[in-house]
Amino acid sequence: MGQGVSSTAQPPVAFTKADALWSTDVSPGHSSPVVWGDKIFLTCIENGKLDCRAYDRATGKLLWTRPVAAEKIEGTHAFSNAAAPTPAADAERVIFHFGSYGLLAFTHDGKALWDKKLPAQVSRGGYGTGTSPILCNDLVVLACDTDQGGSRLLAFKRASGEVAWETPRPLFTAGWSTPVLWTRRGLTEILLLGSKKLTAYDPAKGKESWSLPGFTLETACSPAFEDDRLFVCAAGIGGRSSQKFDSSGWKQLLPFDANQDGKIQFDEIPENFHLIIRAELPEGHPGRELPFNTREMVKGMDEDKDGALSEQEWNKAMQGFENTDVPVVMALRSGVVEKAEDRIVWKYGRGIPEIPSPLACRGKLYLVRDGGVLQCLDASSGTVVYQERLGAAGGYAASPVAAQDRIYFASQAGIITVIDGRSDTLKVLAQNSLDEKITATPALVEKAIYIRTDKHLFAFADK
């Protein structure tokens, strides 16, 4: 469930806007399209108002929209918005989640079934809610981790919205990872990656089964799995993809050393200066620069209290971050183990994605990060099969998806790169430009691919 690999879909490889079966205007939102039967469900926000929507799968026609009576719209990072979580659907209902409201359940025809108001997630960075609900047995499961205290994992009865169980997560701060279900040998567990730790829960009562530390403070990716192997990754704070900080931060400050004494006086740093932390993102992208005041940040690094920052003080502060927040991807084994660390099959710590989840397919693990940097690892050993640039630069928020031994990567700039998943070298089969921003993960169903951009919902299929 939620692994991004379809064993039945046969989507097209190459396509352009002109090839679309249909396209329809959509309001902003980051939720991915959810397909069930003849309908597509997603969420939107426009002019400060939230709504749930259903579209006709054959034509793209808007079938119904239901406004959400949120008392206050949660704040989000400029990159995101308040319609980020993806809905969950079964044969009888579709369940929507908004951080500004909670959960709402409707029939496929838009009849209200139940709703459950929940407190908004609070995070230090004000990023907003990102985690989506998942379905497990007769339950709806939702992660509610927050920096305000009271983090918890919740399960609601699908039919009524009644709380089935609630498991406190007292040591967890805000997170954006969606839980996944891991089933093998008849055993199903709910896996949730949170701040510093991966935790497994029993779906029946929400009791913790096991946990594994060693992850970073802020997590957004969801775990992936194939057979008896589980793959979990988390980037560092600020999107850091590898353990070591590069030296660009100090180099960005050096031009402000007016007296050439090798130190940066605090008043030499302009009030409106922001450090670039994701150079691979284009200018103007809201995630490219550090969102808070650089002058105030470096004041906290002034160990000798001389009113200036030296390179040594900068490097020591960066080393502190490196030692406490290490980006990593781990491969884990299932089954009973004596110690938590015995689950670890291998670790790898370079080029870790910040938002896109890993994709496990046919014995390989795919990791894509900003800049269009793709790593293909051998799933059994963690050995790098290849590391290449896809040729579509900029940011990546959508997770990769796969069908027919083909892997699809959607960049924020609107380029969908399709590669051959059978090859041990990067083999690009097509690059399809929609020239519209993409943050939502595409859906692969039967012979079609459904892609949500910032302006439209597209359907493509081989004719």
CB 144 within 8 A of CB 184: no
Other CB atoms closer than 10 Å to residue 132's CB: what's the count? 24
Give, rounded to a whole angstrom, the gap between the first and last alpha carbons of the chain.
29
Do 338 and 262 meet the contact criterion of CB atoms below 8 Å apart?
Answer: no
Distance CA 396, CA 352 (A): 12
| Predicted local distance difference test score (pLDDT) of residue 127 | 86
Residue type, 143: A
Q: Tell me the pTM.
A: 0.93
**CB-count burial class (<10 Å; 0-12, 13-18, 19+) for 257:** middle
Q: Report domain extents, the chain.
A: 31-83+85-129, 220-242+326-442, 248-323
Question: Considering the domain 248-323 in this protein, what is its CATH number?
Answer: 1.10.238
Q: Which H, E and C letters describe the chain, residue by residue? A: CCCCEECCCCCCCCCCHHHCCEEEECCCCCCCCEEECCEEEEEEEECCEEEEEEEECCCCCEEEEEEECCCCCCCCCCCCCCCCCCCEECCCCEEEEECCCEEEEECCCCCEEEEEECCCCCCCCCCCCCCCCEEECCEEEEEECCCCCCCEEEEEECCCCCEEEEEECCCCCCCCCCCEEEEECCEEEEEEEECCEEEEECCCCCCEEEEEECCCCCCCCCCEEECCEEEEEECCHHHCCCCCCCCHHHHHHHHHCCCCCCEEEHHHCCCCCCCECCCCCCCCCCCCECCCCHHHHHHCCCCCCCCEEEHHHHHHHHHHHHHHCCCEEEEEECCCCCCHHHHEEEEECCCCCCCCCCEEECCEEEEEECCCEEEEEECCCCCEEEEEECCCCCCCCCCCEEECCEEEEECCCCEEEEEECCCCCCCEEEEEECCCCCCCCCEEECCEEEEECCCEEEEEECC
Among residues 13, 83, 90, the alpha carbon closest in space to that of 51 is found at 83
pLDDT at residue 285, rounded to an integer: 86
Angle of CA points 235, 78, 457, to nearest 5°:
90
What is the rounded CA–CA span in Å between residue 92 and residue 163? Answer: 19
CA dihedral sign, ordered 88, 135, 335, 214: positive
- CATH class of this structure's domain 220-242+326-442: mainly beta
Using alpha carbons, select from 399, 461, 462, 456 the residue that is nearest to residue 62. 456
Low pLDDT (below 50) residues in the chain: none
How far apart, in Å, are the Cα atoms of 45 and each of 28, 95, 399?
6, 17, 22
* Selection from 290, 309, 282 nearest residue 396 by Cα: 282
Q: Does domain 31-83+85-129 have CATH number 3.30.230.10?
A: no
Q: How far is CA 92 from CA 35, 109, 111, in A?
A: 13, 10, 11
Nearest to 432 by CA among 412, 413, 416, 409: 416
Per-residue pLDDT reduced to its tens digit, 262-306: 899 888 888 889 888 888 888 888 888 877 788 888 888 988 998
